[in-house]
Structure 1
Amino acid sequence: PAVFDLLEARNNKKIKIFGDDNIFKFEKVVKGNTKTAFDKCAAIVENEYKTPCQEHAYLETQGVIAEPLPGNVMRVSGSMQCPFYVREAVAITLGIPLSNAHIIQTTTGGAFGGKEDMPSIPACQAALLAYYSKRPVKLIYQRDEDISVTSKRHASYVKSKYGADKDGKLIAVEVEYVIDGGAYSTLSPVVLFRGVIHAVGPYKCENVDVEGYAVATNNVPAGAFRGFGSPQVLFAAERQMDELAKKLGISPFEIRKINLVRKGDATITGQILPWSVGAMETLEKAMERGRKLNNQYPIINNQCQNRGKSCVCPNGTKTKDLITGVGVSTIYYGVGLGVGGEHLARTGAVMEINNDGSVSFAVGTTEMGQGMKTVLSQIVAEELGIDYSMVYILPTDTTRVPDSGPTVASRATTMSGRAAQNAAGILKSRLISVAAELLSAEEKDILIKDNFVFYKDEKTEITFQQLIDECAKKRISLSSAGWHHPPHLIFDWETGQGDAYNVYAYATNIAEVEVNKKTGEVKIIRIIAAHDVGKAVNPQMVEGQIQGGTLQGIGYALTENIIRENGVIKNPNFSTYIIPTTLDTPEIIPVIVEDPYPDGPFGAKGFGEQPLMGIAPAVANAVCNALDISINELPVTPEMVWGKINLKLETRKATGVCRLKLETRAVTTHGVQLVQSTKNVDCIQQNYYQ
């Protein structure tokens, strides 16, 4: 018999898919004593949450070309994130040395995690055919094939219990986190680990008990997807924070301020955060931007729905069916592979300054549209003091570039950027030594900037090209290799205590929505997205990442859902799997927060995944804020919202509490004072964010 439900797979021991218990991996974090701590709580909220599978929806499907070459060499070119993963898979499959597996990453039309491990499958399929046929083989998946057989974001179930004191301080948290790994484990164990570490969000809590299960089912295997196990559990965590605030009668913004980690605080794993902790600043900057915007476009009082009367919405329309809401989420993300992937936490870069002063360098990090080539080139140019246009990155080819580890986990800027900076730094040191001799100066007084070499007061100078010519005369090597690995992490796997990641990135999202109570439709008016990136190497590209990730998060929040029937995907195309387009894009306001990370290039840290991660909870919280309902499942479809509205009205009518008397009072939202008059109305009440 087959099993397709993740809880049934875990709980029903009679159906065995994997081992004796269908559990690919179990992880836990234990801190303090939750059992006794809950007794001290003034408020406790306990809920269950569900999130669906999400398709990567990259524009270019999986595809490769395999070519057998003389000398028992197999060359595979294709769309991929991690060519060195593919090299190993092809070598093992064909029984050839790694040096004979020649892998080239071609221009890649999107990945989002879907081309981390999956390209090894079409690569090996094509390589086998090419190996035995002695002919080149081109293999490209059609869209329906790609959606039907490739990995997805894990569907999840979260059972969460939060307790706080009367002031809103978290006292105890218990979380049970279950993800559907599908028929094969693939990356589920490491996805689970990240989810467990992030289960409580960026908040302090001394009593925590988190249990995580990656279970086997007969569904299509799940794998890497932007956020890597965090978006699911953070959706639950951020909904819980709002529910706790509601129960205590305090603002959702305030409860986050009370509990957010700051520099020197400890995470739920007991890890002390010594640097680059911008969580609070993202919240404050997002709130500040929200206040400014809403002074310009005020949200007029519509927390009470007067039947038959018009409401004024942010876009100026008047309708009795629309009601607005505001939601917030603050999340964090461990940058890099963390303690579970330390064997891969290293990066190399090889560099050479050419005779004309231009720079060529090779790094195994891949470009997938995220702008990595631009960022790495900027880092090298900045370190050497030359113009960006003089830097050239070699194409990603396993015979020409060093293995820089996988381009995953928001690690590329931090890791490859630092390796490239180190390689450039070695060359810079040699250049300064030659320049000091040439200018009869001390090395500490030499400055290379804007393609010139200056001495001390910048009055004496030579060109960068003159310096390169001098190095050639002196036969100075202008080739170098840079290497970087982060500090070793110490972690207790039995208790889940210790250092999980070297650094974390933080973000706050504020969503303003408009809900049609007649149809249940949710329209996002505006999203303010504040992100702590350490240091923005290229601010324009940071904003682009925020905008793209936000739109992907909107899809996860409102429309995207893989529909499965007996393990078969029933919507394997873009006519039935609905992703947002530019027509669905709200106003997106990026806010860059910089809290430098000492071990990153010029203070930068990765953040590529987190723009998606906080959108769904912010949107769900905004809808709950508008309608005074609870949303515990994604996506937030019109059918779901309409059903909750009508269930709420029927419940109120049945209990005789539909009509409420509202007292005259002032309410402040985003710095705008609103006034309610005393009258009896049919009411959907809202808690405002202050």
Structure 2
Amino acid sequence: MEIVGSSKIRKDAFDKVTGKARFVDDYKRGDELYAVTFRSPRPHIKIISIDTEEAKKIEGVAGVFTYKDIPGVNKVPLVFDDYPFLAEDVCKFYGQPIALVVAVSKEIARKALKKIKLKYKELPAVFDPLEAMKKDAPKIYGKDNVFRAYKIRKGDINRGFKEADVVIERTYRTNYQVHSYLETQGMLAEPSIDGSITVYGTMQCPFYVLDAVSNILGIPQSKIRVVQTTTGGAFGGKEDVPSIVAGHAALCSFLTNRPVKLIYTREEDFDSMSKRHPGWINIKIGAKRNGKITAIKVKYVLDGGAFATLSPIVLWRGTVHSTGPYDIENVWVDSFAVATNKVPCGAFRGFGQPQANFANESIIDELAHELKMNPLELRKKNFLDIGKKTATGHLIKESCGLKKVVDKITKISNFNKKWKDPQNKKGRIRRGIGIATSFYGVGLGAEGKFLEKAGAHVQIFKDGSVLVAVGNTEMGQGAFTVLTQIASEILGAPYEVVNIIEPDTTRIPDSGPTVASRTTVMSGNAIINACKILRRRIDGVVRDIFNVRGKVISKNGYYYAGGKRISYFDAVKECYNRRVKMAEQGFYRVEGTTFDRKTGIGDAYFTYTYSCMVAEVEVDIELGTVKILRFYSGHDIGKAVNPKLAEGQIEGGAVQGIGYALYENLVLEEGRIITNNFTGYIIPTIKDIPDDIRVVIVEEKYPNGPYGAKGLGEPPLIAAAPAIANAIFNATGKRIRSLPILPEKIVFQE
């Protein structure tokens, strides 16, 4: 392979480093209006009345709109459609949108906000998901405040615990995590004279936004154009929320017949955007003296906030992975996504797995401590491998590089030599080392299989340039570079002449959402299917030119056959001269994933990425501060299409995982976020990350992936927090069972 497997320069690198990239707020129309949002002042209220007359009288105000002005359906189209674009009679969380003010400037719009008079009655609220599950709790959703519940029943759990020589039970908690992307939520909506509307904005899923705008305006999707602008980070935070922001901007534009821009402030973004779900996880685990795990029982509760958004599918992923990358015969899992009067939670890198993985990988170390075993040895005795089954009974048949990853990471980190019993460590400054592993089902799995498809359109122009159209988005992860490399490799076209069209729903096929580490496999395969047809046509012309049979080889911009060669560009021209069709569509979908909701058994995903992380820490036991000295992160990803981009993803995930473990602490009081900017909500800076982050890539090829590739986007974060928690225990003997691991927890833990 010439292109795939090489570290090509990112397609978007030049525009981003030179400042040519245009983010949504860079788009100017000259006559645009500005929208701001009037929000609920309390976590749970009944709206008695809303008076907007004084606000409308302010000079420069073009309109003040409530749910009564919505011409279409007042529901955001997500999993349950329970989230209104604008509140009607009840608000369920602090900051829920009630009205929109549109004016000639942001300043005037914000001035008008203060003139809106809201009369309301405060209702009982509940902020803890465990309290919300009680019978006498205030009702937010349905009869029991449970958005969705799942179970897994594998083997005989009672027999498994009877066979165990050691049984332990522990409870763990995790807090919110904020995406902390550089660019806040924002949209620009613009009407056309034919009654259609165009929405530009920062987003992950243009076709989600298309659904939302069609819903709120009540017009056909064919009259709506959604364009993704350069997006300054996402991490899942621009999967669901952009549908709301776009709906608001589009409504204002539709009603005023003017371009309308809606850009969130950082504080507004914190208050209203989705976040990583806080988690509560109770685990009971049993094992033989030799370390073989005989049974595991898990209760997993996620705090979904006031509306379901993506909580059901987030919960499902966490459920399927809640017992870790281990072969355990007897499994019992109950999981719940629960409604509370807080900001709704949604997609975040890892998608329900980091919470469960923190608990699972922590209790594995605690079990090793009880058994007086090295935690690495315990893991190795129970790892998944070819011929073993996951918690859902999925038989692993291929592409399992878990042991290779672990062996390589523990070798370069010198884990066995550095790991020592914490009881033997003395002094104020203590060092420790910790390990954690994970596996990650690529894509949306059986519960999201209706989205497990992708389309692509590839066109070769007469000058040899190539335009690829897919429905995925570039948000910093390097997807367009990787997809370009795949197309270039198949076609034999120089990488420099192949480009991906900007996501525009009127010009691209729906390739499914850019989530769940699915883009390389799904859209990569769709592109391959289109390019293979084009390549066969080109090869046929080349053979005809040379009057030869046999295989045509492409290398360095030339096609070779029968001892002769022709340049790619000349071959393309000849194809056009012979009236060969030089545009083609490709499609790919996954088959065979299953999940029985009654038992939790099935082939939940089509393949898995396997990971291992090791952290070395230095802890000041008097101050409780933790310094990460070295961090090792290894992943079996099938094939690194672009090794440098893969390394960047892994390093970035490590840093985000370090933040989740040690620093990122969202504080709420009665449902209101009080750390709603980067003054109060601390994320790692360049001074907080280790100088030494070492990356290991293992390539156990997935037969159905593009050149053997699997997914990578999310796994680099998942196991970071438990690796750090285990290292802190190894250094201090203190087991911290909640995230983040703040200094006071270390100081005051007995």
TM-score of the superposition, structure 1-length normalised? 0.89
State the distance in 2 between where 1:593 and 1:445 align: 31
Does 2:687 correspond to 1:583? yes
Match of 2:315 in 1: 192
CA change 1:301–1:45 in 2 (3 A) is closer
Letter in structure 1 aligned against 2:230: T
Match of 2:177 in 1: 54
Choose the corresponding residue for 1:637, options 713, 720, 742. Answer: 742
Does 2:717 correspond to 1:612? yes
Does 2:574 correspond to 1:454? no
Match of 2:283 in 1: 160
State the distance in 1 between where 2:573 and 2:491 align: 16
Instruction: Give the secondary structure class of the aligned counterpart of 1:185.
Output: coil
Instruction: Give the secondary structure class of the aligned counterpart of 1:157.
Output: strand
Letter in structure 1 aligned against 2:522: M
Letter in structure 1 aligned against 2:492: G
Gaps of 5+ in 1: 307-319, 648-690
Letter in structure 1 aligned against 2:619: V
Letter in structure 2 aligned against 1:304: N
Match of 1:389 in 2: 496
The farther-off stretch of 386-395 and 506-515 is 386-395
Deviation at 1:410, TM superposition (A): 0.5
State the distance in 2 between where 1:407 and 1:216 align: 26
CA change 1:487–1:512 in 2 (3 A) is same
Match of 2:586 in 1: 482
CA change 1:60–1:404 in 2 (3 A) is same
Taking the TM superposition and a 5 Å limit, the aligned residue runs for 1:371-382 are: 371-382=478-489
Taking the TM superposition and a 5 Å limit, the aligned residue runs for 1:115-514 are: 115-291=238-414, 304-306=424-426, 320-442=427-549, 444-456=550-562, 459-514=563-618
After superposition, the C-alpha distances for 1:217-264 in whole angstroms (9 at most, x for unaligned) are: 101111000000000001000001101111111111111111110112
Q: Structure 1 vs Structure 2: percent identity of aligned residues?
A: 48
Letter in structure 2 aligned against 1:550: A
Match of 1:540 in 2: 644
State the distance in 2 between where 1:603 and 1:569 align: 44
Match of 2:6 in 1: none
Deviation at 1:15, TM superposition (A): 2.2
State the distance in 1 between where 2:451 and 2:425 align: 56
Deviation at 1:438, TM superposition (A): 1.5
State the distance in 2 between where 1:126 and 1:96 align: 15
Does 2:721 correspond to 1:598? no
Instruction: Give the secondary structure class of the aligned counterpart of 1:498.
Output: coil
Choose the corresponding residue for 2:665, options 554, 561, 583. Answer: 561
Deviation at 1:43, TM superposition (A): 1.0
Letter in structure 2 aligned against 1:640: K
After superposition, the C-alpha distances for 1:65-116 in whole angstroms (9 at most, x for unaligned) are: 0101121111110000001100110011101100111100000000000000
Deviation at 1:216, TM superposition (A): 0.6
State the distance in 1 between where 2:567 and 2:364 align: 58
Letter in structure 1 aligned against 2:559: V
**Contact 1:263 1:273 survives alignment (8 Å):** yes
Deviation at 1:356, TM superposition (A): 1.3
Letter in structure 2 aligned against 1:615: A
Deviation at 1:384, TM superposition (A): 1.3
Deviation at 1:526, TM superposition (A): 0.6
State the distance in 1 between where 2:416 and 2:343 align: 45
Letter in structure 1 aligned against 2:219: I
Alignment size in residue pairs? 626
**Contact 2:438 2:611 survives alignment (8 Å):** yes
Deviation at 1:11, TM superposition (A): 2.2
After superposition, the C-alpha distances for 1:340-380 in whole angstroms (9 at most, x for unaligned) are: 11111110110111111121111111000000111011111
Does 2:628 correspond to 1:524? yes
**Contact 1:365 1:406 survives alignment (8 Å):** yes
State the distance in 1 between where 2:251 and 2:422 align: 64
Instruction: Give the secondary structure class of the aligned counterpart of 2:199.
Output: strand
Segments ≥4 residues shifted beyond 2 Å: 11-15, 298-306
Deviation at 1:607, TM superposition (A): 1.3
Letter in structure 2 aligned against 1:637: L
Instruction: Give the secondary structure class of the aligned counterpart of 1:333.
Output: strand
Match of 1:25 in 2: 148
Instruction: Give the secondary structure class of the aligned counterpart of 1:26.
Output: strand
Gaps of 5+ in 2: 1-123
Deviation at 1:490, TM superposition (A): 2.6
State the distance in 2 between where 1:305 and 1:136 align: 65
State the distance in 1 between where 2:536 and 2:551 align: 13
State the distance in 2 between where 1:546 and 1:16 align: 42
Deviation at 1:299, TM superposition (A): 8.8
Deviation at 1:449, TM superposition (A): 2.0
State the distance in 1 between where 2:425 and 2:543 align: 75
State the distance in 2 between where 1:81 and 1:56 align: 13
Deviation at 1:303, TM superposition (A): 6.2
Letter in structure 1 aligned against 2:443: G
**Contact 1:546 1:611 survives alignment (8 Å):** yes
After superposition, the C-alpha distances for 1:111-148 in whole angstroms (9 at most, x for unaligned) are: 00000010011111111111111111011000000001
Deviation at 1:150, TM superposition (A): 0.9
Instruction: Give the secondary structure class of the aligned counterpart of 2:203.
Output: coil
After superposition, the C-alpha distances for 1:452-508 in whole angstroms (9 at most, x for unaligned) are: 11115xx32111122112211211101100111112323212100011000110110
After superposition, the C-alpha distances for 1:370-410 in whole angstroms (9 at most, x for unaligned) are: 00111011111111122210101111111111111100000
**Contact 1:302 1:324 survives alignment (8 Å):** no
**Contact 2:174 2:278 survives alignment (8 Å):** yes
Instruction: Give the secondary structure class of the aligned counterpart of 1:376.
Output: helix
State the distance in 2 between where 1:130 and 1:620 align: 50
Instruction: Give the secondary structure class of the aligned counterpart of 2:391.
Output: coil
Deviation at 1:302, TM superposition (A): 8.6
Letter in structure 2 aligned against 1:354: F
**Contact 1:110 1:368 survives alignment (8 Å):** yes
Instruction: Give the secondary structure class of the aligned counterpart of 2:133.
Output: helix
Choose the corresponding residue for 2:726, options 590, 596, 621. Answer: 621
**Contact 1:338 1:502 survives alignment (8 Å):** yes
CA change 1:441–1:13 in 2 (3 A) is farther
Taking the TM superposition and a 5 Å limit, the aligned residue runs for 1:35-46 are: 35-46=158-169
**Contact 1:507 1:531 survives alignment (8 Å):** yes
Deviation at 1:445, TM superposition (A): 2.3
State the distance in 2 between where 1:127 and 1:420 align: 32
TM-score of the superposition, structure 2-length normalised? 0.82
State the distance in 1 between where 2:221 and 2:428 align: 64
State the distance in 1 between where 2:565 and 2:355 align: 57
Deviation at 1:294, TM superposition (A): 9.8
State the distance in 1 between where 2:245 and 2:232 align: 16
Instruction: Give the secondary structure class of the aligned counterpart of 1:476.
Output: coil
The farther-off stretch of 386-395 and 111-120 is 386-395
The farther-off stretch of 90-99 and 11-20 is 11-20
Instruction: Give the secondary structure class of the aligned counterpart of 1:436.
Output: helix
Instruction: Give the secondary structure class of the aligned counterpart of 2:660.
Output: helix
